[in-house]
Amino acid sequence: MRASLTASSTLTWRNGWQRHMSTASEPLLRVQGLTVAFGQQPPVVREVSFEVMPGETVGIVGESGSGKTMTALSIMRLLPPSGRIVGGSILFDTMPLHQFTEAQMRQVRGGDIAMIFQDPFTCLNPVMRVGEQVAEAARLHRDRAEGDPEALAVQMLRAVHLPDPERIARRYPHELSGGQRQRVMIAMAFICHPRLLIADEPSTALDVTVQLQILHLMREMQQQQGTAVLLITHDIGVVAYTCDRVLVMHRGEIVEAGTVYEVLERPGHPYTRQLLEAVR
């Protein structure tokens, strides 16, 4: 249940893995006992376990430093150099991502699993036109027979409701507004029809009106493609507007989990109640 805002087959993996296509009753992503540490410091993520089903939206909510972004980066295997997974497993369609080499992960990132970050300006190449960047994602992860990458890029820019997409495609990132840059990132994420999208604070840096537009656009694209979404946020209102289920993280641990209705209407943990009281 969403709250308001105030047929199975097996495919051969490119690297030799057999990947099992999840049915609606099987998790697309299964994280079990994930523990992440930096050097000899205490773990920043401790024994985190959760599942994401095909097509659903799961939110991870918590304050800065709670471990939610480190959890997302662990799934993508994009932890900073000093960070490492010291325990647990990450299975995507039975593929053990926690054991994958960097070469294997490059085949997954941007294809089956895409990620949108909080600040698109730091993710986009400043000296490359945005149309070329969207097209590059198509070149890497889509079959050439599906169409010309440049044409696909313009189609995708139109799909995310950017005005005059041909003109936008010729622009550089610094020539676009923050909301337009985030739409470009959404286009790059969805051009390869990912099965899982990880969105890390995708609308935090935007004003309220643009924030709602971006969240609505993500949900629209998700419904069109049947993509599962793992949404990372500190904003309980974003969770209420967007998610089916929510995980509350505090000091590296999941302290509460359930449907959005269950958690927001009947919070059981003091930290969850604290988050809710902060927005009332």
* Number of structural domains the chain divides into: 2
Instruction: Quote the CA–CA distance of 191 and 184 in Å, as a whole number.
Output: 10
Model pTM score: 0.87
Task: Indicate whether 252 belongs to any domain.
Answer: yes
Query: Can you give the CATH number for the domain in which 260 is found?
Result: 3.40.50.300
Q: What is the pLDDT of residues 124-159, one digit of tens each?
A: 999 999 999 999 988 887 665 467 889 999 999 999
Does 18 share its domain with 85? yes
Does 174 share its domain with 64? no
Q: Which of 265, 272, 232, 267 is nearest to 76 (CA)?
A: 232
Does 72 share its domain with 156? no
Does 62 share its domain with 166? no
Give the domain-ending residue among 192, 214, 239: 192
Q: What is the pLDDT of residues 218-262, one digit of tens each?
A: 999 999 999 999 999 999 989 998 999 999 999 999 999 999 999
Residue 131 domain boundaries: 124-192
Task: Indicate whether 209 belongs to any domain.
Answer: yes
Does 105 share its domain with 142? no
Kindly give the confidence (pLDDT) of every residue in the chain, 280 residues in length, as a single tens digit, with 9 standing for 90 and above.
333 343 333 333 333 343 344 556 789 999 999 999 999 999 999 999 999 999 999 999 999 999 999 999 999 999 999 999 999 999 999 899 999 999 999 989 988 999 998 888 888 999 999 999 999 988 887 665 467 889 999 999 999 999 999 999 999 999 999 899 999 999 999 998 999 999 999 887 778 888 888 899 999 999 999 999 999 999 998 999 899 999 999 999 999 999 999 999 999 999 999 999 887 7
Give the domain-ending residue among 192, 211, 237: 192
Task: Indicate whether 2 belongs to any domain.
Answer: no
Task: Indicate whether 5 belongs to any domain.
Answer: no
Does 171 share its domain with 211? no
